[in-house]
Amino acid sequence: MPVPKRALALSIPAAVTAFVALLFTLVSVPASAAAALTVAQAISSQTGASGTVTGYIVGEPTATSTVRFSDFTGDTALAIADSKSETSTTKMLYVQITAAYRSSFGLLSNPSLVGKALTVTGTLTAYFSHAGLKSPTAMSLGTTATTSPTTTATPTATSSTDAYYAAAAGKSGASLKAALHTIISTGVTKLSYDGVWNALKVTDQDPSNSSNVILLYSGISRSKSLNGGDSGDWNREHVWAKSHGDFGTSAGPGTDLHHLRPEDVAVNALRDNKDFDTGGSAATGAPGNYTDSDSWEPRNAVKGDVARMIFYMAVRYQGDDSWPDLEVNDSVNNGSNPYLGRLSVLKQWNTQDPPDAFEKNRNQIIYSTYQHNRNPFIDHPEWVSSIFG
């Protein structure tokens, strides 16, 4: 049946609308429902973050560039690829099989698994000095994970965050700030103040000791179990001091993991609600930190981290919800006003201490596991000067 011209003309915008809606859906899907990574994506996302990958089992890696395709020798490692017939080890991901999974997934015990699809969740990091996935927390045959332990890791810290920031593309200044505000305020899960304890034990875990967290200012590695309010404990430091805007600890800015960090109880009290600036005398209990009556200077290794946390808060909280509009200014002695300084110093710290692996990893964990939003200034530190001059 011929389609009247007018009807055809109308159907095109409808198709475009549907396509845009589909794109929006793809971009805004929460991490918990994100699709698994391909092997190629996993190879280019060796960030140390957790991720879920689907690929075909092709063999057993025994060295950096050696994979056995038959006559398997053990149950401790798998090579997976996007193609069942892949023979190039550069296109494979090496998957560690820890004890719990060996009887089900090891190729010595299960040689017939070759060619089957595997979905695995674990840490995207080198194995056999080769692109890998270690410490699996879920493994299943097929293309869908049967368990979803804590997270899937899409997007990761580099190119795949482009989709997350798509609505900010090409923008600068106030329009960039507005676009980022919408992006990082959409689909957010808010934690309870009590929930922050356990989250910090994950986001701030010592990379060298999984029983400990790293304390922000002091840099000390301390047992996760010493969370509390006594001398020698660590507690929840609000890097944007909660009295600046007086937002308290109900679910909102007072529980936002992007600026909450473990710190020694006494050091936290010493920082108090001071603004950030250089100078003062050495801070007791926190080597490399300085303080005077109205300001705090963190150690060099976290100066940029502190700055990017403050810039995040200024963009995340714009007064369009039940919370104050937090802003950065160039003052100290801001008291209970919803301001935090000093802007000129924080901008300098952002430049001199660029994002490191620890900071990027916690941003990813907060995104994938807890709040489902990101700190844009960790992904794009150059946006600080675009927005804050």
Q: Please give the order of strands across the beta sheet that includes 209-214.
A: 205-206, 209-214, 221-223
272 near Ca ion, judged by CB under 5 A: no
Beta carbon nearer to Ca ion, 272 or 356:
356
Candidate list 353, 361, 363, 375; residue touching Ca ion; CB under 5 A? 353
78 near Ca ion, judged by CB under 5 A: no
Phi-psi region of 347 (alpha: psi -120 to 50; beta: other; left: phi over 0): alpha
Stretch that binds Ca ion, among 140-148, 156-164, 272-280, 352-360 (CB under 5 A): 352-360
Alpha carbon distances (Å) from 389 to 80, 233, 268, 329: 47, 39, 30, 12
Beta carbon nearer to Ca ion, 60 or 327:
327
Beta carbon nearer to Ca ion, 286 or 326:
326
Minimum distance of Ca ion from residue 123's CB (angstroms): 21
Q: Please give the order of strands across the beta sheet that includes 275-276.
A: 275-276, 295-297, 290-291, 281-282
The residue whose two tokens read 């844009």 is 376
Q: Specify the pairing of strand 92-96 against strand 132-141.
A: parallel
With H, G, I as helix, E, B as strand and everything else as coil, classify residue 46: coil
Minimum distance of Ca ion from residue 241's CB (angstroms): 15
67 near Ca ion, judged by CB under 5 A: no
Minimum distance of Ca ion from residue 177's CB (angstroms): 8
Q: What dihedral angle (degrees, nearest 10) is formed by the CA atoms of 23, 24, 25, 27?
A: 90
Candidate list 20, 325, 336, 385; residue touching Ca ion; CB under 5 A? 325
Candidate list 237, 263, 275, 305; residue touching Ca ion; CB under 5 A? 305
With H, G, I as helix, E, B as strand and everything else as coil, classify residue 236: strand
Beta strands per DSSP E along 12-49: none
Minimum distance of Ca ion from residue 250's CB (angstroms): 19
Minimum distance of Ca ion from residue 315's CB (angstroms): 6
Stretch that binds Ca ion, among 10-18, 216-224, 257-265, 298-306 (CB under 5 A): 298-306
**Distance (Å, whole) CA 80 – CA 179:** 39
Minimum distance of Ca ion from residue 312's CB (angstroms): 10
179 near Ca ion, judged by CB under 5 A: no
Minimum distance of Ca ion from residue 282's CB (angstroms): 20
Minimum distance of Ca ion from residue 60's CB (angstroms): 39
- Tell me the DSSP string of 155-220: S-SSTTHHHHTGGGTT--HHHHHHHHHHHHHSSPPPPPHHHHHHHHHHHTEETTEEEEEE-TTT--
List of residues 6+ apart from 200 with CB closer than 8 A: 213, 227, 236, 257, 260, 261, 262
Stretch that binds Ca ion, among 129-137, 217-225, 304-312, 373-381 (CB under 5 A): 304-312
Stretch that binds Ca ion, among 123-131, 132-140, 285-293, 350-358 (CB under 5 A): 350-358
- Taking a C-beta distance cutoff of 8 angstroms, is the pair 350, 311 a contact? yes
320 near Ca ion, judged by CB under 5 A: no
**Distance (Å, whole) CA 284 – CA 265:** 12
Beta carbon nearer to Ca ion, 264 or 353:
353
**Distance (Å, whole) CA 16 – CA 221:** 53
Minimum distance of Ca ion from residue 116's CB (angstroms): 43
Candidate list 176, 199, 216, 314; residue touching Ca ion; CB under 5 A? 314
150 near Ca ion, judged by CB under 5 A: no
318 near Ca ion, judged by CB under 5 A: yes
204 near Ca ion, judged by CB under 5 A: no
Beta carbon nearer to Ca ion, 153 or 328:
328
Residues contributing to the site for Ca ion (CB under 5 A): 304-305, 314, 318, 325-327, 353, 356
